[in-house]
Chains A and B, each alone.
Chain A
Amino acid sequence: MADKLKETMPSNDVNGTPKPSSPNADTAEQITMLWEYSPAPESSEHISISDKYHHFIGGEWVHPEKGRYMTTINPATENKLAEFAEGTSEDVKRAVKVARKAYEKSWSNLSGKERGKYIFRLARMIQEKARELAIIESMDGGKPIRESRDVDVPLAAAHFFYYAGWADKLGYAFPGRKADPLGVCGQIIPWNFPLLMLAWKIAPALATGNTVVLKPAETTPLTALKFAEICMDAGLPDGVVNIVTGAGQTGAAIVNHPDVDKIAFTGSTEIGKIIQKSIAGTGKKFTLELGGKGPLIIFEDAPIDQAVEGIINAIFFNQGHVCCAGSRLLVQEGISEKLIKKLKDRMETLIIGDPLDKNTDIGAINSRSQYERIMKYLETGKNEGAEMYQTSGSLPENGYFCRPTLFTGVSQSNRIVQEEIFGPVLTIQTFRTPDEAIEKANNTPYGLASGIWTDKGSKIFKTGQKIRSGVMWANTYNKFDPTAPFGGYKESGLGREGGLHGLYPYVNLTPV
């Protein structure tokens, strides 16, 4: 029966992993009736998580000076996973000192070629431990195993592999300039793609000859600590990579440490602004990857089923915990009714539940506080007069889960249209002309990513040129690659990560 149904499904080789169910509205109901999934959980038996983690400083585990620890839980079960150190300014001082020493004594004396070989090792060892890392990522953060297995971990390895190759080729990246490392980089990463963001930060920093002190988010520290084990296994010189765990205060201690040469931060625009302000006048370099409110523009001539898949991927990938999520749907008037109906039907087929289940499309919201934030926005949306639609079906009893949500009847000035919700919540507006779509698309303080669906190539380029965003996905969405630069316009950030452009933030350029 299942095989027969599969044959009737439209092929979907454009917008990511084929989904197990059909976007075809007419058969959607039939399918959900006929095709029920048995649980297919990934076993977590063979993974190892310690009960208690300390900081990773100078190549060894170091107890926090103040002796305080925090707890990380599995947001899908609310069960405790492990304890980890809460970093204070003393711990940060220690880490920066060690990183400075490693920079001066070992790392900057290595040739680019040898440096590269260490980074290649890291890439390979992430691949070797891919399954374990993926499971831990899903347990600690709540994201579906399908995503951590197929996206987060392979991309993290690819990122190290890509930048490893740059280490001895920097002269080719900056014509007419000599590229020198900056020194010690302080890096603060978010909880939505913990290992991948670590890779985005550490790989280019090491390739260009810097050493790092990195702080993972307080709700998802585990894969960074597993990465510390990989650094040890790879024989990376002590102190080149240091992981200090903790919350916002630990991050602030890194930002404000006078001996840190560069800050790389991924997180909210609100915190980004605080960081930019607090390092004003210090001469520290910085890059910021901040929030977004990505528009998805669907023109009348778009291939509609493909567009529906694209929208699903744009807003429900990783529960919508994506800075570049396509969270504002702008659909041309003539097809809006049809599109919204198809979208709702497709949403009904999304499987919400156990992140470790291989069939799960939507996992757990990362933390209680994020869950509460999303719920507050749902209230705000309703209070602003918008009409809310949520999928039916039951949610797991424990853990933080949010149904895929649409808002129609919104206006451009609504808070749910202007502010980043960081959850599986999509607002829907219509437009008549391309100019109106562009006007609405650009009308937020953000400019990180955008999506356009049309079958007309010339329209893609015309619209794409006028949208102020660092990434433009045409007839696709939420694709990432280490060779492709990523970063924001306007209040979505400053600087690029990935590709050749991702080297700039980590070098000082001097005329040859």
Chain B
Amino acid sequence: MTDRIEVLKTYKTYIGGKFPRSESERTYPVSDSKGNLIANACRCTRKDVREAVVAARASFDGWQGRSAYNRGQIIYRIAEILEGRKSQFTEELERTGTKTKNAVTEVESAIDRLIYYSGWTDKISQVFGTINPVASSHFNFSVPEPSGIVGIIAPDDSPLLSTISLLAPVLCGGNTCVIIASEKNPLPAVSFSEVLHASDVPGGVVNILSGYRNELVDSLTSHMDVNGILNAVNDENIVKLTEENGSINIKRVYHYTAENWLDEIHESPYIIHPFLEIKTTWHPVSS
């Protein structure tokens, strides 16, 4: 009896609710900690970034327009589906060199983080919104709305948990996003797109690209239809580049780095806040 030949997975991208390969048809090798090839990931280009931004924009009105309750349930649903695929993601993390025990903790924390943020969608207006007691005869209130499209630059460490820790608050606020996955460990994020796809997240709300950061960060951060950048890569050049490019259209640029993504300080409404716009509405009070 011969050993069964394992079926290898082709890792693609996630754009507009579909799983295309990079338009460049180029890939780059992703290896485990010992240098063995795990898979060839898509080496996305400027054009893929543009496609992803178009998809994120197309889905923005719909996602923003859903009730907070509904958005909360969808984020909760992501957690439910991920719970059912714990072993898959534990294995994916192990393959990149994470020890089994740590891989299990990472996946479980990622699920819990989604649960945490799913509960915020219908509370941020109450925590960050205000009724303003203006001196004139007007009814006046301020509510948070999403900034729009947020570009997320994910780090290499804790590739699943970090991606989810960045993604969840952005979604929670009603934004749509384009994620540049870790260059070194892109596979967990790419596989996570399958979870998103199975979780009632409308196509285009989350878009995930893999590739070389020095090729993708510039395109994403200089795109005129991107409203914000959430960067979690602690690199002076990337910080400066994203801020400079941000000035082209007054992007909201927020850098967020973590020593340990497992830490519960990464569960906070103050991470949702940078990509909220406050809208103040006035109406006369009169008979």
- What residues of B have a CB within 8 angstroms of the CB of A158 in the complex? 135
> Assuming the A-B contacts A280-B243, A489-B277, are A272 and B250 also in contact, with contact meaning beta carbons closer than 8 angstroms in the complex?
yes
State the majority secondary structure of interface residues on B: mixed
Segment from A231-239, A403-411, A491-499 that makes contact with B: A491-499
> Assuming the A-B contacts A177-B270, A445-B249, A476-B138, are A281 and B244 also in contact, with contact meaning beta carbons closer than 8 angstroms in the complex?
yes
| B246 near A474: Cβ-Cβ < 8 Å | no
| B282 near A280: Cβ-Cβ < 8 Å | no
Segment from A56-64, A97-105, A197-205, A479-487 that makes contact with B: A479-487
| B138 near A479: Cβ-Cβ < 8 Å | yes
Complexed CA–CA distance, A14 and B284 (Å): 6
Which of A177, A269, A484 has a CB less than 8 Å from the CB of B142? A484
Complexed CA–CA distance, A275 and B268 (Å): 30
Q: Does B165 contact A (CB under 8 A)?
A: no
| B278 near A290: Cβ-Cβ < 8 Å | no
Segment from B50-58, B114-122, B125-133 that makes contact with A: B125-133
- What residues of A have a CB within 8 angstroms of the CB of B286 in the complex? 13-14
Complexed CA–CA distance, A468 and B239 (Å): 28
- What residues of B have a CB within 8 angstroms of the CB of A4 in the complex? none
Within 8 A of A (CB), among B244-279: 244, 246-250, 252, 265, 268, 270, 273, 277-279
Min distance, Cβ A453 to any Cβ of chain B, angstroms: 11
Complexed CA–CA distance, A280 and B279 (Å): 27
Within 8 A of A (CB), among B123-174: 127-128, 130, 132-138, 140, 142, 147-148
Which of A276, A279, A481, A485 has a CB less than 8 Å from the CB of B278? A485
> Assuming the A-B contacts A14-B284, A476-B282, A501-B130, are A280 and B244 also in contact, with contact meaning beta carbons closer than 8 angstroms in the complex?
yes
Residue of B nearest to A502 (CB): B278
Chain A CB count within 10 A is highest, among B132, B250, B270, for: B250
- What residues of A have a CB within 8 angstroms of the CB of B249 in the complex? 445, 490-491
Q: Does B9 contact A (CB under 8 A)?
A: no
| A493 near B250: Cβ-Cβ < 8 Å | yes
Which of A471, A475, A494 has a CB less than 8 Å from the CB of B280? A471
> Assuming the A-B contacts A290-B250, A470-B278, A499-B142, are A481 and B236 also in contact, with contact meaning beta carbons closer than 8 angstroms in the complex?
no
Complexed CA–CA distance, A391 and B280 (Å): 34
- What residues of A have a CB within 8 angstroms of the CB of B243 in the complex? 276-277, 279-281
Chain A CB count within 10 A is highest, among B140, B282, B284, B286, for: B282
| B132 near A273: Cβ-Cβ < 8 Å | no
> Assuming the A-B contacts A281-B243, A491-B250, are A484 and B140 also in contact, with contact meaning beta carbons closer than 8 angstroms in the complex?
yes
- What residues of B have a CB within 8 angstroms of the CB of A476 in the complex? 138, 282-284
- What residues of B have a CB within 8 angstroms of the CB of A493 in the complex? 250
Q: Does A196 contact B (CB under 8 A)?
A: no
> 0/1 per residue, A232-256, Cβ < 8 Å to B?
0000000000000000000000000
Residue of A nearest to B244 (CB): A280
| B130 near A500: Cβ-Cβ < 8 Å | yes
- What residues of B have a CB within 8 angstroms of the CB of A14 in the complex? 284, 286
Q: Does A509 contact B (CB under 8 A)?
A: yes
> Assuming the A-B contacts A476-B282, A479-B138, A479-B282, are A470 and B250 also in contact, with contact meaning beta carbons closer than 8 angstroms in the complex?
no
Q: Does B240 contact A (CB under 8 A)?
A: yes
> Assuming the A-B contacts A276-B250, A494-B250, are A479 and B279 also in contact, with contact meaning beta carbons closer than 8 angstroms in the complex?
no
Complexed CA–CA distance, A474 and B243 (Å): 35
- What residues of A have a CB within 8 angstroms of the CB of B135 in the complex? 158, 481
Q: Does B105 contact A (CB under 8 A)?
A: no
Complexed CA–CA distance, A511 and B252 (Å): 22
Q: Does A297 contact B (CB under 8 A)?
A: no
Q: Does B210 contact A (CB under 8 A)?
A: no
Min distance, Cβ B193 to any Cβ of chain A, angstroms: 28
| A486 near B130: Cβ-Cβ < 8 Å | no
Q: Does B191 contact A (CB under 8 A)?
A: no
- What residues of A have a CB within 8 angstroms of the CB of B70 in the complex? none
> 0/1 per residue, A33-67, Cβ < 8 Å to B?
00000000000000000000000000000000000
Which of B128, B148, B270, B278 has a CB less than 8 Å from the CB of A509? B270
| A487 near B278: Cβ-Cβ < 8 Å | yes
Q: Does B281 contact A (CB under 8 A)?
A: yes
Complexed CA–CA distance, A177 and B273 (Å): 13
Complexed CA–CA distance, A288 and B251 (Å): 11
Complexed CA–CA distance, A176 and B265 (Å): 11
Min distance, Cβ A443 to any Cβ of chain B, angstroms: 13
> 0/1 per residue, B162-204, Cβ < 8 Å to A?
0000000000000000000000000000000000000000000
Complexed CA–CA distance, A494 and B61 (Å): 21
- What residues of A have a CB within 8 angstroms of the CB of B273 in the complex? 504
- What residues of A have a CB within 8 angstroms of the CB of B236 in the complex? 281
- What residues of A have a CB within 8 angstroms of the CB of B127 in the complex? 175
Residue of A nearest to B246 (CB): A276
- What residues of B have a CB within 8 angstroms of the CB of A509 in the complex? 270
> Assuming the A-B contacts A500-B130, A501-B142, are A276 and B283 also in contact, with contact meaning beta carbons closer than 8 angstroms in the complex?
no
Complexed CA–CA distance, A177 and B134 (Å): 27
> Assuming the A-B contacts A483-B132, A484-B282, are A269 and B250 also in contact, with contact meaning beta carbons closer than 8 angstroms in the complex?
yes
- What residues of A have a CB within 8 angstroms of the CB of B248 in the complex? 273
> 0/1 per residue, A440-480, Cβ < 8 Å to B?
00000100000000000000100010101111111110010
Q: Does B227 contact A (CB under 8 A)?
A: yes
Min distance, Cβ B238 to any Cβ of chain A, angstroms: 10
| A479 near B136: Cβ-Cβ < 8 Å | yes
| A475 near B270: Cβ-Cβ < 8 Å | no
Can you give 10 contacting A-B residue pairs, CB < 8 Å? A158-B135, A281-B244, A475-B284, A483-B133, A484-B280, A485-B130, A486-B280, A487-B278, A490-B249, A501-B278
The 7 closest A-B pairs by CB, nearest first: A281-B240, A280-B243, A276-B247, A481-B134, A277-B247, A280-B244, A483-B132
Besides the known contacts A474-B281, A479-B136, 19 further A-B residue pairs in the complex with CB atoms under 8 A apart: A275-B247, A277-B247, A290-B250, A472-B279, A472-B281, A472-B282, A474-B282, A476-B283, A481-B132, A481-B134, A485-B280, A490-B249, A490-B250, A493-B250, A499-B130, A499-B280, A501-B128, A501-B130, A501-B278
